[in-house]
């Protein structure tokens, strides 16, 4: 009860309450945006769970893509990089989302 009285008094208590309101306002604004950023990639990741047949089909598609590239005269190293760029690893997708979020937060702190 004495904390409530302190919060009502002008001075430190009131400024603490105001600061808490500001913090909660920022949290209330940031959490929904964070969830929206995470939900899309998570949905995509969930669709990347393969049955054994889907895994075989994906492997065939990757192998055919690589073979087409090398048959067209593209150096093996470049073909391999193109395969990596065009067939996303699910873990790379997750790391990318969180890395981008961390990068944006660091930029905001610098401003």
Residue 37: the pLDDT is 79
DSSP class of residue 42?
Answer: H
Instruction: Report the C-alpha gap between 8 and 5 in whole angstroms.
Output: 5
Tens digit of each residue's pLDDT (9 = 90 or more) over 50-96: 788 888 998 999 999 999 999 999 999 999 998 988 886 666 666 66
Higher pLDDT, 18 or 92: 18
Q: What is the dihedral of CA 72, 73, 77, 82, to 10 degrees?
A: -30
Residue 36 has pLDDT above 60, yes or no: yes
Tell me the domain boundaries of the chain: 1-47, 50-111
């Amino acid at each position: 009860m004495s904390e409530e009285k302190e919060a009502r008094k002008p001075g430190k208590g009131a400024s603490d309450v105001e600061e808490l309101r500001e913090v909660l306002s920022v949290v209330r604004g940031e959490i929904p945006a964070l969830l929206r950023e995470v939900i899309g990639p998570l949905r995509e990741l969930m669709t990347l769970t393969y049955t054994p047949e889907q895994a075989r089909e994906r492997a065939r598609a990757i192998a055919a893509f690589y073979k087409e590239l090398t048959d067209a005269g593209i150096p093996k190293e470049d073909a391999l990089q193109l395969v990596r760029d065009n067939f996303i690893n699910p873990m790379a997708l997750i790391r990318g989302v969180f890395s981008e979020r961390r990068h944006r937060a660091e930029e905001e702190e610098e401003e």
